[in-house]
């Protein structure tokens, strides 16, 4: 009897020990799982952590697939856009030579004929020259090998030195010196070496479209009225033909040549007016950027940097926006704040001289009003003071 009790007690003790060991192992396994979970969560946060992360970064990440699609579509359709520009421009030139020029030679005075021939051909030569140079001239790329450049950063995509004012083009997949933007109508980036060609093409194309719109306004009104008269007579002719037998067909009121002439004039005026409005707005925007010594990308960067420094109280809001401290009390000391300035701006007039490459007064004729393949100032790798700039104000605070 006692032996059975002892055996039962031993079995119970062994069972209790097994239960205790199972609980300890179970608790230990749970602790290990929790530790692995916290460790994995910490690793994930460390990989994704960025002190500069904000709403803009999150939006850029969400729209990254759309950016990728736009970049690839723009890359492959660049040739189509260039062909479209050449085709539309050629159609306007053909209409002018075939339809309008004979009419001008027959009806205008000799003085107006000389004006139209001189200005029209000069404007056409400037458009063709600058467009050809803009699409064939490389915008400039930084060297991929190591060099002696100082104060450069490293492009995260090219893994190569990136000089000042250089940005990476996701469409060309290369860094571009003094990049402004990638233009699909050129199938090329607008950068240091072809920025002047791009702006000159926009300017002269706008001037040519305005010239055609103003010169062809009376012709457009007459052609539009003639087309409306054609439609009215066509309706009357169909009504007369409906009351006659099938073998009695009335003669046409307008010939094919007349119809083509009037429709070509309407097409010319509508297309030139539309391009003048759209391209004129773009030209004015780039003219404002050139006046400030900025590119399209630098405009965005400078605005963001100015806002960031204003929030920190390091930049005078009044000076950076052009306002003054006129309403401040005289007995209250004004805070000593720095003024935000663009380090690549030399003043409005000097910015235009640097951009156009005007070193002496005769260059306004030989380099601006006539086709000129001269190179811009500098190499795009460093930004020293150009020789045409007499003096430069040192920026108190710049990026």
Task: Name the residues annotated as catalytic.
Answer: 183
DSSP-derived secondary structure for 261-326 = HHHHHHHHHHHHHHHHHHHHHHHHHHHHHHHHT--HHHHHHHHHHHHHHHHHT-B-HHHHHT---T
Residue 155 and residue 162 in contact, taking contact as beta carbons nearer than 8 Å: yes
Q: How many residues does the chain have?
A: 399
Residues 6+ apart with CB under 8 A from 319: 337, 339, 340
DSSP-derived secondary structure for 339-398 = -B--TT---HHHHHHHHHT--STTHIIIIISS---PPPSS-SS--PPPTT----PPPSB-
Residues 6+ apart with CB under 8 A from 358: 352, 364, 367, 368, 388
Give the DSSP H/E element, type plus range, for residue 106.
Answer: helix 101-107
Round to whole Å and give the CA distance between 333 and 359. 45
- Least Cα distance to 386 among 179, 149, 363, 153 occurs for 363
Question: Cα–chain-centroid distance for residue 59?
Answer: 20
Residues 6+ apart with CB under 8 A from 351: 290, 291, 292, 293, 345
Angle, helices 348-356/195-215, rounded to nearest 10 degrees: 100
Round to whole Å and give the CA distance between 377 and 195. 12
């Amino acid at each position: 009897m006692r032996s059975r009790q002892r055996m039962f007690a031993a079995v119970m003790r062994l069972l209790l020990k097994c239960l205790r060991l199972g609980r300890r192992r179970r608790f230990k396994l749970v602790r290990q799982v929790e530790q692995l979970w916290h460790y994995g969560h910490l690793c994930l946060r460390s990989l994704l952590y960025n002190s500069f992360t904000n709403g803009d970064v999150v939006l850029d990440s969400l729209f990254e697939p759309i950016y990728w699609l736009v970049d690839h579509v723009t890359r492959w359709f660049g040739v189509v856009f260039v062909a479209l520009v050449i085709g539309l421009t050629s159609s306007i030139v053909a209409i002018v030579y075939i339809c309008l020029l004979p009419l001008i030679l027959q009806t205008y005075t000799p003085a107006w004929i000389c004006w139209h021939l001189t200005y029209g051909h000069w404007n056409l030569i400037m458009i063709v020259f600058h467009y050809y140079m803009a699409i064939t001239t490389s915008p400039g790329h930084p060297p991929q090998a190591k060099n002696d450049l100082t104060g450069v950063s490293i492009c995260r995509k090219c893994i190569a030195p990136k000089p000042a004012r250089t940005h990476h083009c996701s469409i060309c997949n290369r860094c571009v010196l003094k990049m402004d933007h990638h233009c699909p109508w050129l199938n090329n980036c607008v950068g240091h070496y072809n920025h002047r060609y791009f702006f000159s093409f926009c300017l002269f194309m706008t001037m040519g479209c305005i010239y055609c719109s103003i010169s062809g306004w009376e012709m457009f009104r007459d052609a539009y009225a003639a087309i409306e008269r054609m439609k009215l007579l066509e309706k009357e002719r169909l009504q007369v033909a409906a009351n006659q037998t099938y073998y009695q067909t009335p003669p046409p009121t307008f010939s094919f040549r007349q119809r083509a002439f009037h429709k070509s004039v309407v097409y010319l005026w509508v297309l030139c007016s539309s391009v003048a409005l759209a391209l004129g707005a773009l030209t004015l925007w780039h003219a404002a950027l050139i006046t400030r010594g900025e590119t399209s990308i630098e405009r965005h960067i400078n605005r963001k940097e100015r806002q960031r420094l204003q929030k920190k109280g390091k930049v005078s809001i009044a000076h950076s926006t052009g306002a003054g401290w006129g309403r401040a009390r005289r007995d209250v000391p004004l805070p000593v704040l720095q003024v935000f300035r663009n380090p690549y701006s030399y003043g409005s007039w000097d910015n235009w001289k640097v951009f156009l490459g005007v070193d002496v007064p005769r260059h306004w004729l030989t380099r601006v009003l006539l086709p000129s393949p001269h190179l811009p100032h500098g190499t795009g790798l460093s930004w020293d003071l150009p020789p045409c700039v007499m003096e430069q104000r040192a920026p108190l605070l710049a990026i």
